[in-house]
A and B are shown apart, each in its own frame.
Chain A
Amino acid sequence: MLKIWSMKKEQQKAENAEGAGGKKKKITAAQLRVQKDLSELSLGSTMRTIFADADDILNFVLEIKPDEGVYHGGLFTFTFNMDQNYPHEPPKVRCQQKIYHPNIDLEGKVCLNILREDWKPVLNLNAVIVGLQFLFLEPNASDPLNKEAAEDLRSSRENFRRNVRTSMTGGSIRGTSYDRVMFNRA
């Protein structure tokens, strides 16, 4: 094999004249970027983050308590997972509750353009969080993941509203039962 290592040592000698030595422990690009993203989050009063392990910032849960709109009074949590390829790949986001929402399916998958086709590395976690918040204020019938909910929203806003309230208290709509997500103000 080519003796590359002797060249590497030469380079190291030249660079570290004053020498830090030791085994380098470099921070991965993904962690570096998430650290930056987190320090720039604007959570307001309706959201907070939960880290199961503060050292693992690539995984956390975001809690959203919409204070207006049809989902007002509910508490929704989303898992965020960034892999080592972040920000070249978008964060993976899932809703942890089974909810009645035109853009969120029963498995918790979220239809938000910047989480898939429109993701760009210049976007950040704040953009995603703003997008999620917006989904609760303005559910969108044109990108349906839950087709029935989208159909309800299109045909009658009033009926849709009623269904949202029923689902949020743990009721069922057309035979599908939803998770109770009402947030009890202590």
Chain B
Amino acid sequence: MATTAASTGPSRWQYLDKIRRNPGPFNQDSDVGDEALAAQDKAKILVIGAGGLGCEILKDLALSRFKDIHVIDMDTIDISNLNRQFLFRQDDVGKFKAEVAAAFVEKRVKGTKITAHNGRIQDFNEDFYMQFQIVVCGLDSIEARRWINAMLVNMVDMEDQDSLKPLIDGGTEGFKGQTRVIFPTLTPCIECQLDLYTPRAAVPLCTLATIPRQPEHCIEWAHIIAWEEQKPFPNLDKDDPEHITWLYQKASARAQEFGISGVTYSLTQGVVKNIIPAIASTNAIIAASCCNEALKIATTAAPALGFEESYMMYSGDDSIYTSTFKYDKKPDCTVCGEVAKPLQVDPKMTLKELLDSFALKADLQLKKPSIRAEGKTLYMQFPPSIEEQTRPNLEKTLQQDLGLDVGHEVVVTDPAFPTLTFRFILSFV
């Protein structure tokens, strides 16, 4: 590839700098000075996922002048990724996605440092996530999104202004996609919006067992019924070609029996692994919009998605339709909802006195309360072994002996109310 001054020297950024350096209606002089712009150079940005979306996101962030990028992905490159995950080549098959993607973009965009982490997001703790200013997700799993969402929401600490990390989340499904921006605890989180995901419609078992009509039904039959009955291997490993081949052969035989055509190896793999066909250009559109939001947040060059409207949906299924909309924060969200009620107590009170007061309070009337704080079991009625271990705490005082303090959360449960948990934030009289 021909290298010109425009792609290597400082002039590479001349057009981007027109946006960064000129004050406009949304950024004042203080936002466009050298000092403010240096903040973008120093900003550490985390990309989660180095697959179809992740490749695009890494490339776009590097080309938007983010200079310190980290990327996490646990997967290795499969031959089937090569059609759209354009940072990977035939020789890379079997290597870690994060590592190969990082090296490629680093080499291509000089002056950008990309650090790869080959692992699961769950392998890293709060200290790790605390070092970033912005997190961008290009994930295909709801579980992973919920996990990082809960992590970022729980990290917000009123004593530390760097603890609030904007989360930019991209997702695609065929011709459809979405971009959303979350300011943890300030704006609706992923858990608040969980009902936007429609669970995949499952085919009734009896259909699979008796009257399959589609090739997918034959594959599901092999997956759910034949595998369970015959257990050719102790546990199904969806990444093991031998296992997929077994399912494919079973599904083919069944399809033949019912005169159904269309069962192939790759369809089997797709159905079993729940793969939603990814379209390269949808990934490109969504990744690009995610990165523009990151750029706007980092530079304040224009208002970002997030405060009024926080969700951008793109649909290319029927011509093109796109819109942004506002989503409300759920007051009872289990992750970001402020469900804990204030509870005013005397710090010199013993734990037993506190528990006794729960029995008397008209709105609680708890007879057998168990109580815990973060990382601390204060008193539990059950199981017997833990009751015995925590019984000595009953005579201890809340602040001095048990280390409880203002702002600490305590959770009270009682077997009489199996569906309820009572959450309180302590304050002292």
- Chain A interface (Cβ within 8 Å of chain B)? 1-5, 7-8, 11-12, 15, 18, 20-29, 31-32, 35-36, 38-41, 43, 48-51, 54-57, 83-85, 88-89, 111, 116-117, 142-145
Q: Chain B residues near A49 (CB, 8 Å)?
A: 383-386
B363 at the interface (CB under 8 A from A): no
| Distance A108 CA – B64 CA, assembled complex (angstroms) | 51
Q: Chain A residues near B334 (CB, 8 Å)?
A: 29
Partner of A54 from the list B307, B377, B382 (CB cut-off 8 Å) is: B377
Contact mask for chain B residues 45-87; partner A; CB cutoff 8 A; 1 contact, 0 none: 0000000000000000000000000000000000000000000
Residue of A nearest to B153 (CB): A26
Query: Are B39 and A1 in contact (CB-based, < 8 A)?
Result: yes
Query: Are B385 and A1 in contact (CB-based, < 8 A)?
Result: no
Query: Are B159 and A40 in contact (CB-based, < 8 A)?
Result: no
| Distance A7 CA – B183 CA, assembled complex (angstroms) | 10
Query: Are B382 and A57 in contact (CB-based, < 8 A)?
Result: no
Q: Chain B residues near A27 (CB, 8 Å)?
A: 372-374, 409-411, 423
Query: Are A41 and B382 in contact (CB-based, < 8 A)?
Result: yes
Query: Are B158 and A38 in contact (CB-based, < 8 A)?
Result: no
Partner of B381 from the list A4, A21, A22, A39 (CB cut-off 8 Å) is: A39
B243-251, B253-261, B277-285, B413-421 - the one binding chain A? B413-421
Contact mask for chain B residues 394-429; partner A; CB cutoff 8 A; 1 contact, 0 none: 000000000001111111011100100101011100
Query: Are A18 and B342 in contact (CB-based, < 8 A)?
Result: yes
* Min CB–CB distance A47 → chain B (angstroms): 9
Q: A22-B406, A24-B409, A39-B381 are in contact. Are A8 and B186 (CB under 8 A)?
A: yes
The 10 closest A-B pairs by CB, nearest first: A22-B407, A22-B406, A54-B389, A5-B161, A49-B383, A25-B408, A20-B427, A25-B374, A54-B377, A2-B297
Total A-B pairs in contact (CB under 8 Å)? 153
Query: Are A39 and B370 in contact (CB-based, < 8 A)?
Result: yes
Query: Are A12 and B158 in contact (CB-based, < 8 A)?
Result: yes
Q: A7-B183, A27-B423 are in contact. List 18 more A-B contacts (CB 8 A).
A: A2-B296, A4-B183, A8-B183, A20-B342, A20-B406, A20-B407, A22-B408, A24-B407, A28-B374, A38-B370, A38-B386, A39-B382, A40-B418, A41-B383, A51-B389, A88-B143, A88-B147, A144-B231
B335 at the interface (CB under 8 A from A): yes
Residue of B nearest to A58 (CB): B375
Partner of B385 from the list A15, A21, A50, A117 (CB cut-off 8 Å) is: A50
Q: A2-B166, A22-B406, A88-B146 are in contact. Are A35 and B383 (CB under 8 A)?
A: no
B298 at the interface (CB under 8 A from A): yes
Q: A1-B300, A20-B342, A51-B389 are in contact. Are A116 and B235 (CB under 8 A)?
A: yes
Q: Chain A residues near B328 (CB, 8 Å)?
A: none
Q: A39-B370, A41-B382 are in contact. Are A5 and B164 (CB under 8 A)?
A: yes
Partner of A84 from the list B122, B377, B380, B385 (CB cut-off 8 Å) is: B122
- Chain B residues touching A, range: 35 or more
Q: List 16 A-B contacts (CB under 8 A).
A: A1-B297, A2-B296, A8-B186, A22-B405, A23-B159, A24-B408, A27-B409, A28-B154, A35-B372, A38-B386, A39-B413, A43-B384, A48-B383, A50-B385, A51-B386, A55-B376
Query: Are A4 and B413 in contact (CB-based, < 8 A)?
Result: no
Contact mask for chain B residues 354-376; partner A; CB cutoff 8 A; 1 contact, 0 none: 00000000000000001011111
Partner of B380 from the list A24, A32, A38, A89 (CB cut-off 8 Å) is: A38
Query: Are B166 and A39 in contact (CB-based, < 8 A)?
Result: no
B157 at the interface (CB under 8 A from A): yes
| Distance A38 CA – B372 CA, assembled complex (angstroms) | 12
* Min CB–CB distance A92 → chain B (angstroms): 13
| Distance A1 CA – B166 CA, assembled complex (angstroms) | 11
| Distance A23 CA – B160 CA, assembled complex (angstroms) | 9
* Min CB–CB distance A44 → chain B (angstroms): 11
| Distance A26 CA – B231 CA, assembled complex (angstroms) | 44
* Min CB–CB distance B37 → chain A (angstroms): 11
B234 at the interface (CB under 8 A from A): yes
B185 at the interface (CB under 8 A from A): yes
* Min CB–CB distance A59 → chain B (angstroms): 12
Q: A8-B185, A57-B377 are in contact. Are A38 and B234 (CB under 8 A)?
A: no
Residue of B nearest to A10 (CB): B186
Query: Are B186 and A7 in contact (CB-based, < 8 A)?
Result: yes
| Distance A4 CA – B166 CA, assembled complex (angstroms) | 9
Query: Are B338 and A24 in contact (CB-based, < 8 A)?
Result: no
Query: Are A40 and B383 in contact (CB-based, < 8 A)?
Result: no
Q: Chain A residues near B410 (CB, 8 Å)?
A: 27
Considering only residues 188-225 of chain B, those with a C-beta below 8 Å from chain A are none
Residue of A nearest to B133 (CB): A1
Q: Chain A residues near B390 (CB, 8 Å)?
A: 54
Partner of B122 from the list A25, A41, A43, A85 (CB cut-off 8 Å) is: A85
Q: Chain B residues near A56 (CB, 8 Å)?
A: 375
Query: Are B374 and A26 in contact (CB-based, < 8 A)?
Result: yes
Query: Are B385 and A48 in contact (CB-based, < 8 A)?
Result: yes
Query: Are A85 and B147 in contact (CB-based, < 8 A)?
Result: yes
Partner of B411 from the list A15, A35, A43, A143 (CB cut-off 8 Å) is: A35
Residue of B nearest to A51 (CB): B386
Q: Chain A residues near B164 (CB, 8 Å)?
A: 4-5, 8
Residue of B nearest to A57 (CB): B377
* Min CB–CB distance B147 → chain A (angstroms): 6
Q: Chain A residues near B342 (CB, 8 Å)?
A: 18, 20
